[in-house]
C-alpha cells in the first residue's frame, strides 16, 4: 500500500467510523466499577514438563512440544540426526505432563465468566486447574475452551495438562473397537512407524509416512485466560459472496459471541478503500450467540477481483468491524476480504464419455499448475513464517498457481493461507484424513464435527482456498480394496465412509460455506462417484474427476504410459536431497548409497533401487572409484531422473489441455507430488528440508512457464505443441535448432510459418519427420544430435515467449555425449554473485552446488549450449567469492562415469 493511500484511508476511517459507529448512546444502568471489556491473560511462556516417573523435569516453552523442549535443554540430540527417530521412540510412548503456576489479578477473578482458551492441544489430555478436572481433549485440529469461574484462587493457581501417549491412546481405541477392524492396523515396516493412527485426530503422518519419520509428539499451542462480565467475541469470519441474481457482491461477517447478559449492540462494517460502511443493530442473547452482518456492495461501486498467480492481481480490501453494546463492551476487528468466484465445472464433453473437471475463477478457466504440500516439520512449533514464506515464494517463483494441502498432515497455520492469498496460490484443502478407513463412533464423529466447523470458520475468508476435499485416497482405498476386505463386509465400510465424509463433513461444509465446491475425496470421479454412492467402481477413471498416478519402473520418457486424465492431482518420482542437506544429519560412515543410514531414511519399499532402475533406463549410472564422489554422484543422478521424469509427465498434461484423444483429455491440472520435505531423507519433493531447491524445482520454472513449447515424438514424428495459459492470443513462430553433442555451433535452424497460439489453449504448432529432419540437417543421427525449440513473436523474432525447450532423440546413455570440462569464475555483484561458466561441448543437467551456503541459483540443472553462461546466486547469509569457489561443485551428466 502506498503512503498516500494510507493517508486517505486513515482520513476516511477517522471521519466516518468513529463519529458514526455509535447508533445510540449507551444506557447508564451499568454500574461503573464493573469492567466492561474482556480481560485476557496469556499463559504462554515457560511451563514445567515432566515425564511419567518424574525422571525428566524441565522447563518447556508454550507454544511447544515435548521433543523441542527436550532438545532445547540438551537432554536429547537433534531428533532428525541419523537413527534418532528410533532411539527417541520412548518419548512418544511416555505420558507427559505440562504444568504452570500463575496468579490472576483480583479484578479478573471476580468477573462473571472466566474461560481458559487452548488454541490447540496435541492431542490426548486431561486438564486440571487447582486439582479440579476442567476438561479432556482428543483432537489436535480444534481449539478448546473451558469455563473455570470459581476455581481460581488468590495466590498460585496450578494448571496441569496431563497427556497420554498418542500411540497408547490409538491402540486402546482400536482395541475398544472390537466389533470389526478399521484398517490399516499398522504402517508398512519400512516406515518404522506406529499403529492405529486412524483412531486419533492427530496429524496422520506423525505416526510415520513413506517420506517421513514417526514423531507423535505431545504439546500445546497458545493458552489464554479470558475473563468478562457481559459478552465476548469468540470468533469472526468475513467472506464475500457473489449474488448472481442481483449481480452484486455481498460482504458477510459472521460473529460468534459468548454471552453472559443479553444486550443490544451497534456494529459498523467499513471498507475504507471502497469508501463504504454500514451500520447494524443486533440483539444478542445467550441462546442466539451467532449473528451475521451483510454489506451489499452497490452495483455502481467497482471492486478489483482477486486472481490466481499469472492471471491478474491479488487484490484484497481492508475490512474493519467496530461494535459497541449497550453494556458498553467494544469490539474492533481488522481483516482482509477479496472478491473472487470459483466453480468446479463437471459437465458433458462432446466426443468424450464422462464429464469435464476444471476450475473456473471469476469465470475464467484456469489450468492448475503446482504441487502438493505436506507439513514443513514434524514439530509444528518450529515452523516459522519465514519458512513458510520461503517455500511458498519458491512455488510462485516456479510459476505455480496451486498447492494441495494434503489430508495426512495438518490444517496449516493462518500465516500459510495469508501468504497464499497474497501470492495468488490457489489451495485445494483436504480435510485431515488419509490412506485409511476411519471409525464412526459417536465421540469420534462429534470431535470431527467440531473440528470441521472450527476449521471452515477459520479458513473460509481466504480467497486462496478454492476447494474443500473430504479425504486423501480413501474412496480409492475402498474401491480398489487396499486392505483386503471381503466383499461381503464392504457395505459396512462404505456406510462408514458415507457417514463420515458425506453425512457429517460435507453437510457441515455446505451449511457453513456456500462459496466454494466440495469434493468427497481425491482422487475421485466427482459427480460420477456421487452417482455411484460416493465410492465409484474406479475412482481413477480418466474420464472423470482427478487422478493420482505413480509408476516407478516403467519408462518415464514414454508419455504413452501416462493417463490422459482430466486433472492430475498427484504424480511423482523420488529423489535424494543434496549431500549438504544429508550431511547435517549423518556422518561419514553413512555416505554410501547402500549404507544402513540410506536404508533407514528410505520409507518407501524398494525406493532406493527403484530410483536407480528408472535412472538406468536413460543414463549411465555413477561408477566412480572414489567412494564419496560415487555417493554424491548417486544423489545427483536421482535428482536428474526425478526432474526429467516429472518434466516429461507435466508437459504431457499441459499439452493435453485442449485435446480429446480416444475420449480422454482436456486435462486442466498438474499438481505433482510433492513440494516440500518434513526432514532430510529421500522423497518425492522438489524442495529439500531447509529450502534448497532440487533439480526438479529448477526445471519446474520452465515446465510451468505460462507460455511453453512442448516437444515429443510420436511414430518418428517430432511434434511441437504451443501451450498458453494467457488470456490473449499470440502470433508465433517456432524456431527449431539442431545441435551436435560435440559442438556449440548449431547444425541447422528451421523457422516455422507464423501460427496463432490462442490464449488458454494447447495446440500442435509444427511437426517434422525425425529421420527427414536429421537427414536434411546433415551430419546428424539420433545419437549425435539433439533438438532445441522455442516460440517467438512472428513480428519480432527477438521476442521469445517461454523458455528454450529441448528433446533428446535417444537415451542419453546411448548418445554421443562427450566429456566436458566446465570452467567457472565467480564475481560479486552487490548482494548477489555471478558465476560465469565456460565450456566447449554440450553439457546436460549442469548442476551448481555450493554445499551449505544457503541460497538460490537463478537457474540450475540446465542444458549448457553456449561457450559462456552467467548464472547468478542469491545467498541467504553473508558469504564471499573465496568461500563460494572453495565450496563450488559443478556436475554434469557426463561427469558421473
Ligand atoms: C523413568 O522413565 C524413563 C523413561 O521411560 C526410564 O528411562 C527410567 O528408567 C525410569 N526411571 C525409573 C526410576 O523408573
Ligand atoms: C500412560 O497412561 C496410560 C493410561 O493411563 C497407561 O495405560 C500407560 O501405561 C501409561 N504409559 C506409561 C509409559 O506409563
Ligand atoms: C452510487 O449510487 C449511490 C446511490 O444512487 C450514490 O449515492 C453514490 O454516490 C454512487 N457511488 C458512486 C461511486 O458513484
Ligand atoms: C502411431 O503408430 C501406432 C502403431 O502403428 C498407431 O496405432 C497410431 O495410430 C499412430 N499414431 C499416429 C498419431 O499416427
Ligand atoms: C502473424 O504475423 C505474420 C507476420 O508478422 C503476419 O503476416 C500474419 O498476418 C499474422 N497473422 C495473424 C493471424 O495475425
Ligand atoms: C564407468 O563406466 C564407463 C561407461 O561404461 C566406463 O567407460 C568406465 O571405464 C567406468 N569406470 C570405472 C571406474 O569403472
Cα 127-130-135 angle, rounded to 5 deg: 25
Nearest-atom number in ligand 5 for the CA of 756 is 13
Ligand nearest to the CA of 50: 1
> What's the gap in Å between 56 CA and the centre of ligand 2?
16
Ligand nearest to the CA of 630: 6
Q: Dmax over Cα atoms in the chain, in whole Å?
A: 99
> The domain 39-165+216-226: what is its CATH number?
2.60.120.260
Q: How many CB atoms lie within 10 A of CB 147?
A: 13
Pocket test for ligand 5, best of 731, 733, 765 (most atoms within 8 A of CB): 731
Q: Tell whether ligand 5 has an atom less than 6 A from the beta carbon of residue 15.
A: no
Predicted pLDDT at 35? 79
> What's the gap in Å between 140 CA and the centre of ligand 3?
48
Nearest-atom number in ligand 6 for the CA of 623 is 1
Q: Tell whether ligand 5 has an atom less than 6 A from the beta carbon of residue 795.
A: yes
pLDDT digits (tens, 9 = 90+) for 502-539: 999 999 999 999 999 999 999 999 999 999 999 999 99
Determine which residue's CA is closest to atom 12 belonging to ligand 2: 94
Predicted pLDDT at 30? 40
Predicted pLDDT at 524? 98
Predicted pLDDT at 3? 43
Nearest-atom number in ligand 2 for the CA of 53 is 14
> What's the gap in Å between 293 CA and the centre of ligand 3?
21
Ligand nearest to the CA of 90: 1
How far is Cα 746 from Cα 752, in angstroms, rounded to an integer?
17
Q: Tell whether ligand 2 has an atom less than 6 A from the beta carbon of residue 52.
A: yes
Determine which residue's CA is closest to atom 12 belonging to ligand 6: 623
CA distances from 782 to 305, 374, 775 (A): 50, 41, 10
How far is Cα 296 from Cα 285, in angstroms, rounded to an integer?
25
Pocket test for ligand 3, best of 277, 298, 299, 302 (most atoms within 8 A of CB): 298
Determine which residue's CA is closest to atom 2 belonging to ligand 5: 794
Predicted pLDDT at 32? 42
> What's the gap in Å between 556 CA and the centre of ligand 3?
60
> What's the gap in Å between 794 CA and the centre of ligand 5?
7
Predicted pLDDT at 668? 98
**Residue 387, φ and ψ in degrees, nearest 5:** -60, -45
Cβ contacts of residue 602 below 8 Å, gap of 6+? 190, 608, 681, 682
Contacts of the segment 660-663: beta carbons below 8 A, 24+ positions apart: 660/349, 660/351, 660/352, 661/564, 662/564, 663/351, 663/352, 663/353, 663/354, 663/543
Q: Tell whether ligand 5 has an atom less than 6 A from the beta carbon of residue 754.
A: yes
**How distant is the alpha carbon of residue 645 from its chain centre?**
21
**Which top CATH class is 3-30+230-326?**
mainly beta
Q: Tell whether ligand 3 has an atom less than 6 A from the beta carbon of residue 298.
A: yes
Q: Tell whether ligand 5 has an atom less than 6 A from the beta carbon of residue 797.
A: no
> What's the gap in Å between 122 CA and the centre of ligand 2?
17
Ligand nearest to the CA of 895: 6
Q: Tell whether ligand 1 has an atom less than 6 A from the beta carbon of residue 57.
A: no
Determine which residue's CA is closest to atom 6 belonging to ligand 3: 300
Q: How many CB atoms lie within 10 A of CB 367?
A: 25
Domain with CATH 2.60.40.10 in the chain: 3-30+230-326, 707-814, 823-896
> What's the gap in Å between 815 CA and the centre of ligand 4?
26
**722, β-bridge pairs:** 709, 763
The SS3 of residue 626 is: coil
> What's the gap in Å between 55 CA and the centre of ligand 1?
6
> What's the gap in Å between 756 CA and the centre of ligand 5?
8
Residues (pLDDT < 70) of the chain are 1-34
Q: Tell whether ligand 3 has an atom less than 6 A from the beta carbon of residue 300.
A: yes
In CATH terms, the superfamily for domain 707-814 is Immunoglobulins (2.60.40.10)
Cβ contacts of residue 698 below 8 Å, gap of 6+? 643, 857, 859, 860, 861, 862
Domain with CATH 3.20.20.80 in the chain: 342-703
Nearest-atom number in ligand 1 for the CA of 90 is 5
Ligand nearest to the CA of 716: 4
Determine which residue's CA is closest to atom 2 belonging to ligand 6: 897
Determine which residue's CA is closest to atom 1 belonging to ligand 5: 731
Q: What pTM, to 2 d.p., does this model score?
A: 0.96
Ligand nearest to the CA of 303: 3
Q: How many CB atoms lie within 10 A of CB 20?
A: 14
Determine which residue's CA is closest to atom 1 belonging to ligand 3: 300
Predicted pLDDT at 779? 86
Domain spanning 823-896, CATH architecture:
Sandwich (2.60)
**Residue 106, φ and ψ in degrees, nearest 5:** -50, -50
> What's the gap in Å between 782 CA and the centre of ligand 6?
23
Q: How many CB atoms lie within 10 A of CB 315?
A: 16
Nearest-atom number in ligand 3 for the CA of 298 is 1
> What's the gap in Å between 94 CA and the centre of ligand 2?
7
Predicted pLDDT at 778? 83
Pocket test for ligand 6, best of 616, 623, 624 (most atoms within 8 A of CB): 623
Q: Where are the beta strands (DSSP E) in 186-244?
A: 207-209, 212-214, 219-220, 223-228, 231-243
Q: How many CB atoms lie within 10 A of CB 153?
A: 12
How far is Cα 699 from Cα 860, in angstroms, rounded to an integer?
8
Which DSSP letter does residue 553 get?
Answer: S
**How distant is the alpha carbon of residue 859 from its chain centre?**
23
Nearest-atom number in ligand 1 for the CA of 53 is 1
Nearest-atom number in ligand 1 for the CA of 54 is 1
Pocket test for ligand 4, best of 715, 716, 719, 721 (most atoms within 8 A of CB): 715
Ligand nearest to the CA of 91: 1
Nearest-atom number in ligand 2 for the CA of 93 is 13
> The domain 342-703: what is its CATH number?
3.20.20.80
The H or E element that residue 635 is part of is: helix 627-655
Nearest-atom number in ligand 2 for the CA of 94 is 13
Pocket test for ligand 2, best of 94, 163, 168 (most atoms within 8 A of CB): 168
> What's the gap in Å between 53 CA and the centre of ligand 1?
6
**How distant is the alpha carbon of residue 861 from its chain centre?**
24
> What's the gap in Å between 847 CA and the centre of ligand 6?
21
Catalytic residue ranges: 473, 570
Amino acid at each position: 500500500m502506498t503512503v498516500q493511500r494510507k493517508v486517505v484511508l486513515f482520513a476516511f476511517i477517522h471521519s466516518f467510523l468513529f463519529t458514526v459507529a455509535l447508533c445510540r448512546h449507551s444506557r447508564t444502568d451499568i454500574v461503573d466499577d464493573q469492567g466492561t471489556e474482556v480481560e485476557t491473560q496469556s499463559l504462554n511462556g515457560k511451563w514445567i514438563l515432566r515425564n511419567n516417573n518424574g525422571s525428566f523435569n524441565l522447563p518447556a516453552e508454550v507454544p511447544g512440544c515435548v521433543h523441542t523442549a527436550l532438545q532445547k535443554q540438551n537432554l536429547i540430540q537433534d531428533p532428525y540426526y541419523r537413527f534418532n527417530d528410533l532411539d527417541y521412540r520412548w518419548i512418544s510412548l511416555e505420558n507427559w505432563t505440562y504444568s504452570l503456576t500463575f496468579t490472576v489479578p483480583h479484578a479478573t477473578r471476580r468477573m462473571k465468566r472466566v474461560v481458559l482458551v487452548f488454541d490447540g492441544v496435541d492431542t490426548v489430555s486431561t486438564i486440571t486447574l487447582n486439582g479440579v478436572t476442567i476438561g479432556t481433549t482428543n483432537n489436535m485440529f480444534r481449539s478448546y475452551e473451558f469455563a473455570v469461574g470459581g476455581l481460581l484462587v488468590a495466590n498460585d493457581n496450578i494448571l496441569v495438562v496431563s497427556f497420554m501417549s498418542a500411540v497408547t491412546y490409538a491402540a486402546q481405541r482400536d482395541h475398544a473397537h472390537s466389533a470389526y477392524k478399521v484398517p490399516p492396523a499398522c504402517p508398512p515396516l519400512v516406515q518404522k512407524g506406529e499403529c492405529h493412527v486412524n483412531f486419533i485426530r492427530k496429524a496422520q503422518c506423525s505416526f510415520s509416512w513413506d517420506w517421513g519419520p514417526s514423531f507423535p509428539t505431545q504439546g500445546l499451542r497458545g493458552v489464554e485466560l479470558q475473563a468478562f462480565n457481559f459478552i465476548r467475541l469468540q470468533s469472526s469470519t468475513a467472506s464475500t459472496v457473489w449474488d448472481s441474481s442481483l449481480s452484486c457482491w455481498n460482504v458477510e461477517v459472521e460473529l460468534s459471541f459468548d454471552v453472559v447478559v443479553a444486550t443490544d449492540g451497534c456494529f459498523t462494517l467499513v471498507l475504507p478503500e471502497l469508501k463504504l460502511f454500514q451500520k447494524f443493530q443486533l440483539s444478542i442473547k445467550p441462546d442466539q450467540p451467532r449473528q451475521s452482518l451483510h454489506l451489499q456492495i452497490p452495483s455502481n461501486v467497482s471492486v478489483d477481483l482477486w486472481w490466481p498467480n499469472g492471471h491478474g492481481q491479488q487484490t484484497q480490501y481492508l475490512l474493519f468491524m467496530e461494535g459497541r453494546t449497550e453494556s458498553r463492551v467494544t469490539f474492533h476487528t481488522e481483516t482482509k476480504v477479496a472478491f473472487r468466484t470459483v466453480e468446479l465445472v463437471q459437465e458433458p464433453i462432446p466426443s468424450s464419455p464422462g464429464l469435464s473437471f476444471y476450475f473456473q475463477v471469476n469465470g475464467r478457466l484456469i489450468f492448475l499448475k503446482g504441487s502438493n504440500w505436506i507439513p514443513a516439520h514434524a514439530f509444528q512449533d518450529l515452523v516459522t513464517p519465514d519458512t513458510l514464506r520461503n517455500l511458498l515464494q519458491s512455488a510462485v517463483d516456479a510459476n505455480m498457481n496451486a498447492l494441495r494441502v494434503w489430508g495426512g498432515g495438518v490444517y496449516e497455520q493462518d500465516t500459510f493461507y495469508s501468504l497464499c492469498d497474497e501470492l495468488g496460490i490457489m489451495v485445494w484443502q483436504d480435510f485431515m484424513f488419509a490412506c485409511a478407513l476411519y471409525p464412526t463412533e459417536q465421540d469420534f464423529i462429534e470431535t470431527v464435527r467440531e473440528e470441521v466447523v472450527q476449521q471452515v470458520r477459520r479458513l473460509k475468508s481466504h480467497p486462496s482456498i478454492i476447494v474443500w476435499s473430504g479425504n486423501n485416497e480413501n474412496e480409492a482405498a475402498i474401491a480398489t480394496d487396499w486392505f483386503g476386505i471381503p466383499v461381503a463386509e464392504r457395505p459396512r465400510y462404505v456406510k462408514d465412509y458415507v457417514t463420515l465424509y458425506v453425512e457429517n463433513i460435507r453437510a457441515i461444509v455446505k451449511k457453513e460455506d456456500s462459496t466454494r465446491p466440495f469434493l468427497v475425496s481425491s482422487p475421485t470421479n466427482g459427480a460420477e462417484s456421487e452417482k455411484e454412492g460416493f465410492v465409484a467402481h474406479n475412482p481413477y477413471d480418466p474420464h472423470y474427476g482427478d487422478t493420482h498416478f505413480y509408476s516407478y519402473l516403467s519408462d518415464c520418457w514414454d508419455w504413452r504410459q501416462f493417463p490422459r486424465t482430466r486433472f492430475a492431482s498427484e504424480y511423482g518420482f523420488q529423489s535424494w536431497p543434496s549431500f549438504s542437506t544429508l550431511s547435517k544429519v549423518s556422518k561419514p560412515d553413512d555416505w554410501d548409497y547402500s549404507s544402513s543410514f540410506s536404508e533407514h531414511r528410505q520409507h518407501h519399499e524398494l525406493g532406493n533401487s527403484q530410483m536407480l532402475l528408472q535412472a538406468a533406463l536413460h543414463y549411465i549410472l555413477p561408477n566412480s572409484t572414489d567412494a564419496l564422489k560415487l555417493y554424491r554422484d548417486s544423489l545427483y543422478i536421482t535428482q536428474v531422473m526425478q526432474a526429467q521424469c516429472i518434466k516429461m509427465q507435466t508437459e504431457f498434461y499441459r499439452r493435453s489441455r485442449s485435446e480429446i484423444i480416444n475420449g480422454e483429455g482436456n486435462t486442466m491440472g498438474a499438481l505433482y507430488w510433492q513440494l516440500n520435505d518434513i526432514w532430510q531423507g529421500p522423497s518425492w519433493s522438489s524442495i529439500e528440508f531447509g529450502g534448497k531447491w532440487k533439480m526438479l524445482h529448477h526445471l519446474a520454472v520452465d515446465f510451468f512457464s505460462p507460455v511453453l513449447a512442448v516437444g515429443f515424438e510420436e511414430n518418428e514424428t517430432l511434434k511441437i505443441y504451443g501451450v498458453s495459459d494467457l488470456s490473449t492470443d499470440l502470433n508465433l513462430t517456432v524456431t527449431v535448432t539442431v545441435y551436435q553433442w560435440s559442438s556449440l555451433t548449431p547444425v541447422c535452424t528451421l523457422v516455422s510459418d507464423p501460427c496463432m497460439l490462442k490464449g488458454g489453449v494447447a495446440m500442435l504448432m509444427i511437426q517434422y519427420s525425425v529421420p527427414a529432419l536429421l537427414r536434411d540437417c546433415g551430419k546428424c543421427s539420433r545419437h549425435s544430435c539433439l533438438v532445441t525449440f522455442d516460440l517467438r513473436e512472428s513480428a519480432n523474432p527477438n521476442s521469445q515467449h517461454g523458455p528454450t525447450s529441448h528433446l533428446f532423440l535417444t537415451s542419453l546413455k546411448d548418445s554421443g555425449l562427450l566429456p566436458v570440462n566446465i570452467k567457472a569464475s565467480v564475481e560479486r555483484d552487490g548482494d548477489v554473485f555471478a558465476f560465469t561458466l565456460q565450456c566447449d561441448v554440450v553439457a546436460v543437467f549442469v548442476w551448481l552446488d555450493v554445499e551449505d551456503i544457503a541460497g538460490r541459483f537463478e537457474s540450475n540443472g540446465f542444458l549448457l549450449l553456449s561457450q559462456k553462461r552467467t548464472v547468478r546466486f542469491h545467498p541467504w547469509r553473508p558469504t564471499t567469492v573465496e568461500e563460494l569457489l572453495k565450496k563450488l561443485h559443478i556436475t554434469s551428466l557426463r561427469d558421473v562415469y
